[in-house]
């Protein structure tokens, strides 16, 4: 009788432990959100050459994003067109699309998976890559686009004619670990669509780009 009682208690304890440590499923959603600053691209003829200029010129837009949909801003997206030199009309302008994560003082920290180069540029992720602490460089800000007359990292910029999976991670004051996730972006010459987002709700557990 005693053995039976101990067995029942053991089963109950094991069931409670499994329930407590149950693995949470991936948080996933689809989106049709579009982010852009360029209204049109105009071809102009200057100094015996044709070039394309984005309009409006010398403009900036800042978007606040809530990627994990907890009703709090995770990061800012800064998009800008501006001239660096009026003497070189075709080549003297810059375009930047940069994600900037929250700092610790804002209650929720966000970082992005970037390439191992001096400039923080997104690393385009693909299956069977895994987004996790190891194997990635994590930065508080990352460029999706940086076109500049003296951009020495142009060769490392993502090809904006292709779809990209971009890795990120989020940490809140409530825990010491990270939640890893990915976002799917579909760029064009004027901006990009953010079409899918997935986050692993299990602390410090990897996620595979495109999985949910």
* pLDDT score for 36: 94
Q: So what's the pLDDT on residue 41? A: 83
Cα 189 to Cα 62: distance, rounded to the nearest angstrom: 18
Q: Could you list the pLDDT tens digit for every one of the 212 residues in the chain?
A: 555 444 434 444 444 444 455 678 999 999 999 999 988 888 887 777 787 778 887 889 999 999 999 888 899 999 998 877 656 667 777 889 999 998 776 678 999 999 999 999 999 998 778 999 888 899 999 999 998 877 788 889 999 999 999 999 999 876 679 999 999 999 988 899 999 999 999 999 999 999 98
pLDDT (0 to 100) of residue 153 = 85
Element housing 132 (H / E): none
One DSSP character per residue, 186-212 reads EE-SSEEEEEEEEE--STT--B-TT--
Instruction: Confirm if 171 and 181 have CB atoms less than 8 A apart.
Output: no
pLDDT tens sequence across 48-73: 778 777 888 788 999 999 999 988 88
d(Cα 191, Cα 159) in Å, to the nearest integer? 13
The predicted model scores a pTM of 0.84
User: Closest Cα partner for 192 from 22, 33, 5?
Assistant: 33
The helix (run of H) or strand (run of E) holding residue 21 is none
Which residues have a Cβ under 8 Å from the Cβ of 79 and sit 6 or more positions away?
Answer: 35, 36, 37, 60, 61, 62, 63, 96, 97, 98, 191
pLDDT at 82: 85
Cα 199 to Cα 209: distance, rounded to the nearest angstrom: 10
Q: What is residue 129's DSSP assignment?
A: -
């Amino acid at each position: 009788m005693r053995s039976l009682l101990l067995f029942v208690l053991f089963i109950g304890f094991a069931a409670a432990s499994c329930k407590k440590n149950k693995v949470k499923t991936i948080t996933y959603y689809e989106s049709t959100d579009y982010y852009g600053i360029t209204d049109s691209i105009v071809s102009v003829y200057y100094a015996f050459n044709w070039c394309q200029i984005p309009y409006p010129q010398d403009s900036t837009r800042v978007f606040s994003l809530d990627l994990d949909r907890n009703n709090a801003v995770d990061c800012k997206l800064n998009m800008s067109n501006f001239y660096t030199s009026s003497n070189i009309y075709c080549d003297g302008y810059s375009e930047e699309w940069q994600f900037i994560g929250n700092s610790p003082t804002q209650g929720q920290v966000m970082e992005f998976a970037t390439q191992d180069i001096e400039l923080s540029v997104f690393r385009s992720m693909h299956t069977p890559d895994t987004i996790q602490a190891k194997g990635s460089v994590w930065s508080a800000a990352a460029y999706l686009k940086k076109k500049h007359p003296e951009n020495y990292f142009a060769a490392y910029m993502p090809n904006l004619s292709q779809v990209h999976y971009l890795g990120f991670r989020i940490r809140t004051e409530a825990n010491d670990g990270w939640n890893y996730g990915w976002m799917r972006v579909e760029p064009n010459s004027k901006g990009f669509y953010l079409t899918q987002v997935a986050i692993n709700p299990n602390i410090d557990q990897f996620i595979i780009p495109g999985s949910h």
